[in-house]
Amino acid sequence: MRGPLGAVIGRYPSSDGTTHLGGIIRHNRKCRDIAFLVIFVAFWIAMIVNSSFAFNRGNPLRLTYGLDYKGNVCGQKHAVQDLRELELRYWLSPNQVYQSGLKDSQFKLVNARSICLLDCPIPSEDSLTWVCDYPEGDIRVSLNDWIDMNYDYFEFLTPEMRNSSLQLQGPCYPVIFPSVNVYWSCQFTAKASNVSLKHWQQMGGVTINENIVIDKSIHKYINSHSAVLKRYMADIGKAWLVLIVCGGILPLFVSVIWLLMIRHFVAAMPWVTVVLFDVLIISVTMFFYLKVGWIGNDAISPIIGEHDPYIHVFVRELTHLRVVTVLMTFIMLVAILTSIAVVRRILMATSVLKVAAKVIGEVRALIIFPIIPYGILAVFYMLWISAALHLFSSGRVVQNNCNSNCCTYDLLEKRVICDQCCGYSIRYTPHIGVAILFHLFGCYWATQFFIACSSTVIAGSVASYYWAHGEASPEIPFLSVFSSMKRLMRYSLGSVALGSLTVSFVESIRFLLESIRRKLKGSSHMPDSWIDKAAYQSSQCFRRCIEWTIKSVNRNAYIMIAITGKSFFRASAIATELIMNNILRIGHVNVIGDVILFLGKLCVSLSSAVFAFLMLDTHNYSSAHNKISSPLLPVVVCWALGYIVATLFFAVVEMSIDTIILSFCQDSEEHGTAHYAPPLLIETLGDQNDMQRLTQGPQ
């Protein structure tokens, strides 16, 4: 029976009439899908240009620290004044803060006069303290002396300056309300100091508004969606060491250990994988419970440094953690029940893994090969994350166009001015949003491309092993992995680029549809009748099925590309026909093997998440300068990086199984029985005719 390739795999007749092993693996190849390789190269050029724009315009400090009234980023070294130690944003006039919090007020907090300080001021217990503007003009005080004086040079002011200060027009402002450091902004607490307020009134100062509004105004600013997104991105920059250790180094070692254990303790590994998966997912869920405060006293706090224990500030990060914790609880229960159901099929998975273990034992270079794509991806991710941080902070600092009427004393002009009170904001243009989306898509496509290249190389190596089985060992190329790499680089990069683009495009469409679905969920456009709801759920299921099918077809297409050198679509058609013709024989075996391998990948990624929680719980990331706003995004990124690293290494087992099974199917269709299959594979797939051939020997 001739398969879809005909007699092209196995023995291949050359022009001189001799027969060679390896067939089309080593013969009759040419470059395929060149147009998509050109598109991929153009994409990389665009990525470089996009990243260059980010590094030129971005400043990651903007993601953490605010702007003062001059447009300087707090904590920035190269500002008009050296602000490298002054990281906290402080609003000088309490009345401006109060006014910005009123519902009908046109005055915005971004236009209130703010400066950068080293720490948040608190009222004195026995006198009135002041916070004065940056020393300029006739104020002969250096910036360091100003800091040492607790920002108070009120005694050096002229009578005119003192009078304007009593009108809350500067250059000095009274410290009436206590303030606390909340994500590098001094948030007022609406509890005025009676002593300070009494001294202020005795000096003839204007009326200061006391209301909860003064608390809520700054809190609303700190808790805005844009501020939370910036803090999440800043967390990635601060936790770079955690990403390297838990997202890169740890999964590398765990994956290699897993492969070595598959090689030597294959019978025990499915059981170990299932048990370890249950332990790790329970551990990760418990860490989330700790961080939201549902267990113990280790909940995240937005307040940095020491503070009054009676002060509580609630932020969106805690809400997000609570949602994820509930979701993780549900996932944990489903995962544990699923793993219990899989236990009954463990023996079948063991048989499949034994086949892969034998291949790894014969082609030993497979164990260390994933280090090559791992190294390439590691360099790519470091550059990509750095560019992403600069891209998210690449807006222009511009002065607001406001109509606010506020007067302040200008130390350089030596008078009160009322026409320059608009503050500064970071303005993001629409093309920056497009650049961010392109950057995110580029990361996903590049990741899929490198994983596809790795899978294709592994498939080519394993196919060389299968079709040379039973013949002289020199027919298996020495270091077949590098021979497969050479074939990929010379002939098939375009096909791999097309396959990875297909997955990336489908995932992008899925993301957009999911975003639309979430928006419709909170609107009146959601289906009401049970027929509409059923149709809606069916469409969601259909979408997921298409997504899974494309990924599965892609993986098998890479195998046929490695074996035959065909174009992507032709290889996909060949692989699909082979699978459909043998679905009853290989379906149950392949599914169980994939389940165990998927649990193994999750074990690696969950171990990355557990250690990320442990590292982020140390003093470096839970207090002081490097404090992160939430462990959520660094942990998720470590989990994703761990899963990608595991995918690279587990592809050795995954692609070995799939390649041998597809080769087995083609071998069976080409010769009637699998001539080249190892006995262990025939026993696993349960082909009685092939078993009889093996036991009786050649006729």
The DSSP annotation for 474-526 comes to GGS-TTHHHHHHHHIIIIIHHHHHHHHHHHHHHHHHHHHHHHHHHHHHTSTTS
Instruction: Please give the average per-residue pLDDT across 22-37, as a whole number.
Output: 72
Peptide bond connecting 171 to the previous residue in cis, omega within 30 degrees of 0: yes
On whether the CB atoms of residues 256 and 367 are closer than 8 A, the answer is yes
b or e along 448-468 (b: 16 or more beta carbons within 10 Å of the residue's beta carbon)?
bbbbbbbbbbbbbbbbbbbbb
Q: Is the dihedral of CA 519, 534, 547, 328 positive or negative?
A: positive
Specify the DSSP class assigned to residue 220.
H
pLDDT of residue 663: 79
In the chain, where are the structural domains located?
A: 41-54+235-397+429-689, 76-223
pLDDT digits (tens, 9 = 90+) for 109-155: 888 889 999 888 988 888 889 999 888 888 888 888 898 888 988 88
The Cα 411–Cα 20 span in angstroms is: 89
Residues in the chain: 699
On whether the CB atoms of residues 72 and 82 are closer than 8 A, the answer is no
Give Cα separations from 675 to 17, 473, 477, 670 (angstroms).
22, 17, 20, 9
Structure tokens at 191: 């509890």
3-state secondary structure (DSSP) of residue 181: strand
pLDDT of residue 274: 87
Q: Residue 416: pLDDT band by 50, 70, 90 thresholds?
A: confident
pTM of the model: 0.83
What percent of the chain clears pLDDT 90, i.e. is strictly above it?
A: 24
Instruction: Please give the average per-residue pLDDT across 68-91, as a whole number.
Output: 83
Helix 269-291 to helix 583-616 angle, to the nearest 10 degrees? Answer: 40
Please give the residue that has the higher pLDDT: either 314 or 22: 314
Please give the residue that has the higher pLDDT: either 101 or 675: 101
Residue 201 CB partners (closer than 8 Å, separation 6+):
none
What percent of the chain clears pLDDT 70, i.e. is strictly above it?
A: 79
Please give the residue that has the higher pLDDT: either 336 or 507: 336
3-state secondary structure (DSSP) of residue 263: helix
Instruction: Please give the average per-residue pLDDT across 683-696, as a whole number.
Output: 48
Instruction: State yes or no: pLDDT of 325 exceeds 90.
Output: yes
Q: Provide the CA 455 distance to its chain's centre, in angstroms.
A: 22
pLDDT digits (tens, 9 = 90+) for 176-199: 888 888 888 898 887 888 888 888
What is the CB neighbour count within 10 angstroms for residue 20? 13
Q: Residue 242: pLDDT band by 50, 70, 90 thresholds?
A: very high
The Cα 679–Cα 529 span in angstroms is: 57
Q: Which residues partner with 174 through β-bridges? A: 130
pLDDT of residue 699: 40
The residue to which tokens 């026909």 are assigned:
577
Please name which of 197, 179, 181 lies closest in space to residue 121, comparing C-alpha atoms: 179
Stretch among 65-79, 423-437, 497-511 having the lowest mean pLDDT: 497-511
pLDDT of residue 3: 41
pLDDT of residue 543: 58
Q: Is the dihedral of CA 660, 663, 669, 672 positive or negative?
A: negative
Residue 6 CB partners (closer than 8 Å, separation 6+):
670
Q: Provide the CA 112 distance to its chain's centre, in angstroms.
A: 35
Instruction: State yes or no: pLDDT of 103 exceeds 50.
Output: yes
Specify the DSSP class assigned to residue 119.
S
pLDDT of residue 18: 40
pLDDT of residue 521: 55
Instruction: State yes or no: pLDDT of 487 exceeds 60.
Output: yes
Torsion angle (degrees, nearest 10) of CA 259, 264, 266, 269: -60
The Cα 4–Cα 9 span in angstroms is: 11
Instruction: Please give the average per-residue pLDDT across 55-71, as a whole number.
Output: 88
The Cα 436–Cα 428 span in angstroms is: 11
> H helices then E strands: how many in the chain?
24, 12
pLDDT digits (tens, 9 = 90+) for 572-629: 888 878 777 776 666 555 666 677 888 889 999 999 999 999 999 887 887 767 889 8
φ/ψ of 172, rounded to 5, equals -110, 145
Q: Which residues partner with 12 through β-bridges? A: 20
pLDDT of residue 355: 73
Instruction: State yes or no: pLDDT of 464 exceeds 70.
Output: yes
The Cα 491–Cα 486 span in angstroms is: 8
User: Can you point out the beta strands (E) in 8-102?
Assistant: 12-13, 19-20, 88-91
Q: Residue 528: pLDDT band by 50, 70, 90 thresholds?
A: low
Instruction: State yes or no: pLDDT of 644 exceeds 80.
Output: yes
pLDDT of residue 450: 93
Instruction: State yes or no: pLDDT of 350 exceeds 80.
Output: no
Instruction: State yes or no: pLDDT of 249 exceeds 90.
Output: yes
pLDDT digits (tens, 9 = 90+) for 205-241: 888 887 778 888 888 888 888 889 999 999 999 999 9
pLDDT of residue 546: 57
> What integer best gives the mean pLDDT of the chain?
80
Please give the residue that has the higher pLDDT: either 42 or 304: 42
pLDDT of residue 359: 76
pLDDT digits (tens, 9 = 90+) for 361-409: 777 788 888 999 999 999 999 999 999 999 988 888 888 887 777 788 8
On whether the CB atoms of residues 660 and 355 are closer than 8 A, the answer is yes
